[in-house]
Amino acid sequence: SEILTGDLPTPIKYYNPEIKTAYKQVERVAGERLLNMLPPELRASYAHDVLEDNEALAPIVKGADKLSAHIKCLEEQKAGNTEFDTAARQTWEAIQTMNRPELDWFVEHCLGSFTLNLDQL
């Protein structure tokens, strides 16, 4: 749902129960909106994973979130923005310690393309 809501910093998200509850409601509305973008025949298959907390998916989502942050850092570095150097190192270290096969696969097969220019693609 963050694709629609944006990412709220964790300390704010969990600052107090009221904010946490309100943010969960925003996430639910965003999840329902995402589901409605799917063809009707697929909605039931994805509803549980989109609308409910799924402990089995939590490590995968955490890895994807860290990977997305790292890719953002790479894009900023590519544009000459050195302000992202520390964050790039930190996100890379976090990705390496996650021991997730799907992350390892993405790093090996896809991550390098995010540093290429159009002529190199």
DSSP state string for 84-102: GHHHHHHHHHHHHHS--HH
* Domain ranges across the chain: 2-51, 58-115
pLDDT of the residue at 4: 81
Determine contact, residues 60/98, Cβ cutoff 8 Å. Answer: no
> DSSP secondary-structure letter at 55?
T
User: What pLDDT is attached to residue 76?
Assistant: 96
Buried b / exposed e over 76-98, threshold 16 CB at 10 Å, is bbeeeeeebeeebeebbeebeee
Q: What is the pLDDT along the chain (121 residues), one digit of tens a residue?
A: 777 888 778 888 888 999 999 988 999 999 999 999 999 999 999 999 888 888 888 899 899 999 999 999 999 999 999 999 999 999 999 999 999 999 999 999 999 999 998 888 8
Predicted TM-score (pTM) above 0.85: no
Give 21-26's long-range contacts (Cβ < 8 A, gap of 24+): 26/1
